[in-house]
Structure 1
Amino acid sequence: MGEWWTKFIGKLPNAGIFYPEERWLKLSSYNGKKLWTYRFHRKYPKALIFIFHGMFSESNDTSHIAKFFYENGYAVFAIDQEGHGRSQGNRGLIKSIEELVSDSEKYVLLTKEHYPENTPIFLFGISLGGTIAGQIAILQSDIINGILLFAPALGLREDFEPLAQKLIQCLSLLCGCFHLSKFDETLSSRNSLYIEYNEENPYSYTGKMNISTAAAVLTGLKMLQKGLIRISVPVVIVQGGNDNIISYEESRKFIEDCGSEDKEFWFYEEMYHDVLFEPEIEEIAYRALEWINCRLASNYLLK
């Protein structure tokens, strides 16, 4: 990383914090692209935590939360999805959520082989990463001990349905090169430097969304919604009341409908969409730490 980030130190929570190991595990995507992997390593961790970033974001946006959990005894991992961060692929293009899920699932399975057998595994999903984490929890329920989803892309606001969805699907079929309007990033965070940080970050994509990407995301959301009843692992959703992308009503409905018997909904009235950059993140981090520690203790007592 260059020196562009130094002026944000002390102003954005992740600025100046980086995963100490990059490309520690050689991994290729479903489409044969080289993927960038990251970790905070402990030889004998309490558990393995995987963090999946949001759409058009990158793993070092999550470095502060990763460092926090590492300092509390965990090994923490991240991956730049194809076309994101430092991984290969077309910037701003997502061909299929299923492909991202496949890449992420492979990363989890390969990583666990480097650690003691039966080490617990928890997944963190940020926005679109929440969709990915939810799908992995369905596919690998036998090895996943819990998922924490931060403003997850699990359902769109009601004013985005159903006409807009049909229009996107049709345009994607006609010509995938169309683009939607550029997203207003002031809707993502109350931190006034958030937009400037993203614009200067060479590993973030801030252009217009390709219509094919929008269609792929919509398809991925529908897939997860159909599989709700199959989510059996402990789950937490962290959601803000001022999220202008994901409706908190949709997130609350998701937590009510999912199949897990151990589920919680943490609601913060003033919080915007990008939870990791919001003022409440320190409180949320400690709360998440306590949640994981409690489930590890419960698992230990059951053995």
Structure 2
Amino acid sequence: MRSAAAARRRRSTCCGGCSRQADAVPLRTRRHPARVRCLRAASAPRRRGLAAYLLDQRGHGRSGGRRGYLSRFSQLLGDLQAFRRAVRLRTQGPQVLLGHSFGGLVTLRYLETQPSDPIAAAVISSPWLALAFRPPAWKRVAGRVLQDLWATFPVPFSLDTEHLSRDPAINTAYGEDPAVHGVMSPGGWREIKWAQGAVIADGQRIESPLLFLLAGEDRIADAHLGRAFADGLKGTVQVRWYPEMYHEILHDPQRERVFQEMLQFVDARIGHA
């Protein structure tokens, strides 16, 4: 006889939209640092009896595609739709999307453009609606000049690891992770900038319930813009503001508090039979 937790897993699904996530199978993954970090985040819904499925965006991790390049942002939306279909073949039930950082941007744009395939809810963590810092002038110029001349040119794009999390072990693991490619192409940057503007302009199209997890000390993504965006939405929206946390909210030393609030939101949307 199946346990109650196993029965619940057949009805409730949590889909990941994080750009460094693992492949779209039930948590079968190779143990390199990026997947270890994402599996830690996935462990919270699994403890609650939810099936968690994780996705590598194209051009990241084990997914195919040129590193740091996008020809069209809409490709990511099609990938997410295909991912959801693959999840349905394994687990029937309501789906909740979790998107962190770049994954948050993808998830928001997906919700604006896919109203015919609704979800139960979405959790948006530190969405990358804009950078919280200004890139060097030469990178900005190179991006504008090369986006049409050499869209695939790999421009170095690295983050200050000390700004990621208050947990030094997370920052060290990120800096040593071979899956972090550290490049951004002019074509990819053009598509991301377009998507950021489109998400802000079309926010009123979102009908699904949303929970925003925002960090007051985020030095990677503009959390204040994220909060203004969330506050301007008209649907069912909750915002959790963590004034002391950095960008990696789900990998903060106090992440259990975040997981608890996230799962309370999910429980209220899908219930437990």
Q: Output the TM-score relative to the length of structure 1.
A: 0.74
Residues of 1 paired with 2:157 and 2:91: CA distance? 45
Residues of 1 paired with 2:141 and 2:119: CA distance? 35
**What residue identity is the alignment partner of 1:151?**
S
* Secondary structure at 1:80 match in 2: coil
Does 2:21 match 1:47?
no
Q: Which moved more, 1:229-238 or 1:184-193?
A: 184-193
Does 2:43 match 1:67?
yes
Does 2:174 match 1:198?
yes
Equivalent in the alignment of 2:21: 58
Does 2:178 match 1:216?
no
Deviation per CA, 1:186-223, whole angstroms, max 9, x where unpaired? Answer: 22122223343124333x22423323222221112122
Bigger RCO (CA 8 Å, 6+ sep): 2
Structure 1: where are the runs of 5+ without partners? 1-40
RMSD, aligned α-carbons: 2.7
Query: What displacement does 1:166 show?
Result: 8.1
Query: What displacement does 1:279 show?
Result: 1.7
Equivalent in the alignment of 1:15: none
Query: What displacement does 1:103 show?
Result: 0.4
Residues of 2 paired with 1:183 and 1:167: CA distance? 18
Query: What displacement does 1:159 show?
Result: 5.5
Does 2:69 match 1:93?
yes
Q: Output the TM-score relative to the length of structure 2.
A: 0.81
Change (3 A) 1:96 1:279: farther
Change (3 A) 1:145 1:169: farther
Equivalent in the alignment of 2:225: 250
Residues of 1 paired with 2:96 and 2:177: CA distance? 28
Counting only pairs closer than 5 Å after superposition, residues 4-23 of structure 1 correspond to structure 2 as none
Q: Which moved more, 1:205-214 or 1:224-233?
A: 205-214
Structure 2: where are the runs of 5+ without partners? 23-34
Change (3 A) 1:186 1:293: same
Instruction: Say whether the 8 Å CA contact 1:96–1:217 is kept in structure 2.
Output: no
**Percent identity among equivalent residues?**
22
Aligned length: 251
Query: What displacement does 1:78 show?
Result: 1.0
Query: What displacement does 1:95 show?
Result: 3.3
**What residue identity is the alignment partner of 2:107?**
A
Aligned residue among 113, 126, 150 for 2:100:
126
Change (3 A) 1:110 1:182: closer
**What residue identity is the alignment partner of 2:104?**
G
* Secondary structure at 2:238 match in 1: strand
